[in-house]
């Protein structure tokens, strides 16, 4: 099935813009038909006199709150062979609501096909060797192992939790020995590795390519990478409900793939997705909760004609509130240019005061002042204090987030 879907995706991606518009109409029509056979969308009315892409836009948004606890009502009664084999993806969002999405084996394989296509588009070929530096890792690492080569493959893992001034030269040795073509990382772990290499003046082999996903790539990380390895980094975005998928192109723009989902952006910059390939759970205009910057449907110049954005921010609901009641969501610039900062977060306490927690390489009083004054300038009228911590605060759901607000509103 995977090979078949790889070629389906390849065919769709090779279409001309005109061909893709025709194909998109058909995909949307099929998605609307499947949705019609779900409990939730059965009563939805839309005109059959207009193209399905336009009809779709007349329908209301679906919110995570609607879905929570009602997941089964979103499953189509249209039977497909692939839905006999299903898997469940569970997510807990910023609002603490968890949802469990049933996906058919084809849904999972289609997403993988999309990812495979994108990877080869940015230069990650199937024969490339890869080293993985991510939070999810093999159980061998529980005993404190730093590295693991997967036998009979060209894959290895590096332990993301053992990086330190003492161990960094071992990571460099490992890279020098194994020479992976690609490093697949989460941004935080990659930042820590590069900062340790730089601050300890340790030279290491640089991969040809870095691919990241799961967290926002900060401008800090990009600058650090430029100073150290100076190799290309491409980031992939997908939300946990799988209603949107985007990958960076050679121009650095994130393209929301037209053949994966219809992607729209609301007036307040929230990504809304209608997946086109799902065979079980159906979502029409699902509001993801993630915010984007600079949405455009103009040609980007890279040859892909999907809609694209400059950046994908944190969860849309992650904002702090100024004394006058204004909401501020884009807070990552507070950490921009702070080369000592490994990871940072902003917590708004119930009192309204803002605490900045930073994990730092070393004490840096000037950096504390800069971050405090940048945050005060962005969010007026709030008391700001900066703290150096060993570890960032986690939410009740166990997630590390860049912005936490300890009150509703």
Give least dist CB 7 to Zn ion, A.
23
Stretch that binds Zn ion, among 42-50, 134-142, 259-267, 298-306 (CB under 5 A): 298-306
CA 95/CA 268 separation, integer angstroms = 18
Is 34 near Zn ion (CB under 5 A)? no
Give least dist CB 250 to Zn ion, A.
7
Q: In 154-171, which positions are buried (b, 16+ CB within 10 angstroms) versus exposed (e)?
A: bbbbbbbebbeeeebebb
Give least dist CB 244 to Zn ion, A.
16
Kindly tell me which of 251 and 383 has the beta carbon lying closer to Zn ion: 251
Kindly tell me which of 64 and 253 has the beta carbon lying closer to Zn ion: 253
Give least dist CB 305 to Zn ion, A.
9
Stretch that binds Zn ion, among 124-132, 246-254, 264-272, 288-296 (CB under 5 A): 246-254
Binding residues for Zn ion, total number by CB under 5 A: 5
224 with 189: CB under 8 angstroms?
no
CA 117/CA 309 separation, integer angstroms = 19
Is 395 near Zn ion (CB under 5 A)? no
Roughly how many angstroms between the first and final C-alpha of the chain, as a whole number?
Answer: 47
| Among candidate residues 68, 5, 6, 66, the one with its CA nearest the CA of residue 41 | 66
Is 119 near Zn ion (CB under 5 A)? no
Residue 121: how many CA atoms within 13 Å on its side-chain side? 26
Stretch that binds Zn ion, among 74-82, 108-116, 251-259, 367-375 (CB under 5 A): 251-259
Pick one of 67, 185, 300, 360: the residue that binds Zn ion (CB under 5 A).
300
Pick one of 34, 103, 253, 374: the residue that binds Zn ion (CB under 5 A).
253
Stretch that binds Zn ion, among 45-53, 271-279, 295-303, 328-336 (CB under 5 A): 295-303
Give least dist CB 368 to Zn ion, A.
38
> In which element (H, E) is residue 212 found?
strand 209-213
For residue 254 the two structure tokens come to 């994130």
Dihedral angle of Cα 173, 177, 181, 186, to the nearest 10 degrees: -30
Kindly tell me which of 292 and 346 has the beta carbon lying closer to Zn ion: 292
CA 351/CA 13 separation, integer angstroms = 51
Is 251 near Zn ion (CB under 5 A)? yes
Kindly tell me which of 11 and 251 has the beta carbon lying closer to Zn ion: 251
274 with 68: CB under 8 angstroms?
no
For residue 107 the two structure tokens come to 């849904």
Is 249 near Zn ion (CB under 5 A)? yes
CA 125/CA 408 separation, integer angstroms = 46
Kindly tell me which of 157 and 256 has the beta carbon lying closer to Zn ion: 256
Give least dist CB 298 to Zn ion, A.
10
Kindly tell me which of 302 and 372 has the beta carbon lying closer to Zn ion: 302
Give least dist CB 117 to Zn ion, A.
14
Residue 125: burial class (beta carbons within 10 Å; 0-12, 13-18, 19+) = exposed
33 with 45: CB under 8 angstroms?
no
Kindly tell me which of 253 and 279 has the beta carbon lying closer to Zn ion: 253
Is 311 near Zn ion (CB under 5 A)? no
Give least dist CB 28 to Zn ion, A.
23
Stretch that binds Zn ion, among 73-81, 297-305, 357-365, 368-376 (CB under 5 A): 297-305
Which whole-number Å values give the CA distances from 321 to 230, 304, 318, 348, 399, in the listed order?
38, 38, 10, 8, 21
Kindly tell me which of 253 and 382 has the beta carbon lying closer to Zn ion: 253
Sequence-distant (≥ 6) Cβ neighbours of residue 267 within 8 angstroms: none
How many helices and strands, by DSSP H and E, does the chain display? 9, 21
Kindly tell me which of 304 and 328 has the beta carbon lying closer to Zn ion: 304
Sequence-distant (≥ 6) Cβ neighbours of residue 405 within 8 angstroms: 318, 319, 320, 321, 347, 348
Is 302 near Zn ion (CB under 5 A)? yes
Binding site for Zn ion (CB under 5 A): 249, 251, 253, 300, 302
């Amino acid at each position: 099935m995977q090979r078949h879907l790889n070629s389906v995706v390849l065919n769709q991606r090779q279409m001309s813009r005109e061909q893709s518009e025709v194909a998109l109409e058909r995909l949307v029509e099929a998605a609307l038909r499947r949705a019609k056979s779900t409990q939730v969308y059965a009563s939805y009315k839309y005109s059959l006199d207009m193209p399905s892409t336009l009809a779709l836009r007349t329908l209301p948004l679906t919110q995570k709150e609607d879905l929570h606890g009602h997941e089964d009502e979103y499953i189509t009664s249209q039977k497909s062979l692939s839905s006999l084999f299903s898997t469940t993806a569970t997510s807990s969002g910023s609002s603490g609501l968890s949802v469990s999405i049933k996906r058919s084996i084809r849904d999972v394989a289609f997403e993988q096909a999309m990812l495979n296509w994108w990877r080869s588009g940015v230069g990650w070929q199937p024969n490339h060797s890869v080293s993985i530096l991510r939070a999810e890792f093999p159980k061998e690492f529980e005993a404190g192992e730093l590295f693991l080569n997967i036998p009979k493959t060209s894959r290895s893992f590096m332990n993301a939790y053992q990086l330190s001034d003492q161990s960094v030269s071992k990571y460099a040795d490992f890279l020098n020995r194994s020479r992976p073509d690609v490093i697949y990382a989460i941004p935080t772990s990659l930042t820590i590795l590069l900062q340790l290499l730089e601050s300890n003046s340790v030279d290491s082999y640089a991969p040809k390519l870095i691919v990241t996903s799961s967290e926002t790539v900060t401008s800090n990380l990009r600058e650090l990478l430029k100073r150290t390895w100076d190799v290309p980094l491409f980031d992939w975005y997908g939300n946990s409900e799988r209603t949107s998928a985007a990958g960076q192109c050679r121009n650095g723009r994130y393209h929301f793939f037209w053949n994966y989902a219809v992607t729209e952006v609301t007036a307040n910059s929230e990504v809304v997705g209608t997946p086109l390939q799902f065979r079980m759970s159906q979502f029409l205009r699902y509001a993801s909760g993630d915010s984007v910057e600079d949405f455009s449907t103009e040609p980007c110049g890279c040859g892909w004609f999907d809609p694209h954005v400059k950046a994908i921010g944190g969860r849309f609901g992650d904002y702090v509130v100024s004394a006058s009641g204004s909401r501020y969501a884009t807070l990552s610039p507070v950490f921009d240019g702070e080369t000592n900062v490994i990871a940072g977060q902003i917590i708004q306490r119930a009192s309204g005061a803002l605490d900045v927690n930073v994990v730092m390489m070393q004490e840096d009083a000037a950096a504390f002042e800069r971050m405090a004054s940048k945050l005060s300038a962005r969010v007026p009228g709030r008391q700001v204090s900066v703290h150096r911590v060993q570890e960032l605060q986690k939410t009740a759901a166990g997630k590390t987030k860049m912005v936490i607000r300890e009150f509703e509103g």
